[in-house]
Structure 1
C-alpha cells in the first residue's frame, strides 16, 4: 500500500469520544480517499463537515493529544499515511511519522512564538531536527520561502505582532514547508490572507510539492484557488464524501445538492471576475509591491547583519 499511496483512507470513520458533558460524536463517516505520490488533492466542505477532523487525524496531530479525552480517533475502517496505520498509532511512532508529514493548522498564524523573528520561526524546524544544521543554509531556505509566499524580504527581521494576520499565516505556511515534507496537510492555509493573494499562496504550496515529487492535502473553502492548483478535489458534507474527482468532473456535473450549491457559487464567482479584473488594495494585508520595499535581496536577508538564523542555531531548544 505504501508504495502506491501516500495517504489511503478506506471506509474510515472518526469519532470524538464522550467527554465531560458532551456525548460521543461521529465527525467522519465511511470516507474513502487516496492521495498518490506527487498528487495535490483539495478537500472542501462547510464548517463542521469533518474536513478539519480528517486533516488532524491524518497529520498525527490528534495522536499528539492522546492525553485529551476529547481528541478525535479512528473507530472504523483504515487510515494509512506514509505506510503508518493511524488507527491506534502509538506515541513512540509519532516522531518517526512526523519526519515525513507537515501540518499547517487553520489558526497556525496565531500560534507563532511571539518573541522570535520570522527568520527564526521559519528556520526553527530545521534546528529542532538537526541542531548542527548550517545556519546560512537555513537562512537562505527561510528567505526563499518567505519571498515565494509574497512577503517582503524585510519581514525576516520582524516579530509576529508586527505583521497582519494574513502575513502571520503565510509565515506558518513557510514553516510547514521548510522540511520538504513528503506529504503536507494544510488546513485552510490562506485563513486571514487577503483574497487577492490567496490563489498565489495555494499555487506556491502546490508548485513546491510537485517540484519535489511530494504530495499535499489542502483543506480550503476557496474553490477558485483550488481549481488552479489541485489534481483532484473531494467534497465532504456531514462527514461523508459527496463528490470526488477533478474539479471539472465534480462541479460541471454535480450529483449531490450540496455539490450543486458549491458549483453555482463557483460559476457566479468566475463570471464576476471575468467582468472585473481590478484588484482592490487591502490595508491590513500588504502584498502587492511590499516584497520590494527593502533595499536588500534574499541573500542579504538570509545572512543579516549578524546572521538572522543564528539565534535559532545558537540557542537550540531555548529558541522555542
Structure 2
C-alpha cells in the first residue's frame, strides 16, 4: 500500500513505520522532524500538526491508500487532518484508547460499553479520555465507514515511552531485593506494539472499518509471569518480594498503578485487564509470546538507552520511593 503515518517517530508510530516497511509498503510520515532521523526508504513530510497550513503545505497534492494517525492530544488537530485527507485517502486508522469508555469500565466490556463525551472541534487536551473520543468523532465525520478506531489497551514492547516495562526492567537490573505488588496471580491484559501495528496495516489493506477493542486475550498472563519472565530473559539475579496492596498503601508506595492494577486511593479497578477482544481477534489480531516482547524490549533498551518520556507520562520516581521501599523490605524480612 501507499501509507501515510501521522507521527512515526515514537512508540506506536515507530512500530507502524517498521511494520509497513517490512510489508514493502510505500511509507510517508508527517511530523515535526525533531526527534529522529527518518528510517531508510521513508518519505518524510515535515509539519507541525497544530498548524493546519503547515500540514496542508507538507501534504501537497499527495494521495494515499491508507492513513494511520497516532495523535493523542487536542481533537481539532485530528479534524483538520481528516478534512484535508478525506478525498485523498481510502482508509483512515486512528490509534485510540480504551479510555474513551466511561469510567468505571464494566468487567468483560466490549466495544458497546458506554462512552465519554467528546468534541471533535475542541482544542483542549487536558482530559485524555475526552480528547481521544473527540479524535474518534473527527475521524468518523470525514471518513465514515472508511474509519478504523483501534481502542488500545495497555501497549508494551520496544519503544515504549510511557514508563511501564522499561521502568520495571531498569529496576530489576539493580539487583538485590525489590518489592512487587501482590498477588502474583493477578491477570494482566496487554498487546505488543508491533502486533498492534501489523493489525492496523492489515486492516487498512482490507478496508476494515468500525471501532475495536485492541489488546491481548484476557487471562493470557499474570503479573507474576510478567516479572519472572523478565528476570529470565535478562538474567538478573533480583529477588521479588511480594507485598499485599494494603501494606503498600500504608507505606505510601503506589506500586501497581503503573500497570493499571490500582487506583490512587488503593482500590483495584474492575474491567482493566479483562476486556472482551473477540471482535478484533475475529478480524485477525494476533499476540506474540510474552518472552519475545520482554526480550526485544530489553535488547532495545540496551542498544538505544532509555527513551525520552512522553510529556504526559509520569516521572520515573512516581511509582516508588527508594527509602520507603527499603523500610518495608526491612519490615518484611523481620516479620
Q: Does TM, scored on the shorter chain, surpass 0.5?
A: no
- Greater relative contact order (Cα 8 A, min sep 6): structure 1 or 2? 1
Scaled by the length of structure 1, the TM-score of the pair is 0.29
Scaled by the length of structure 2, the TM-score of the pair is 0.28
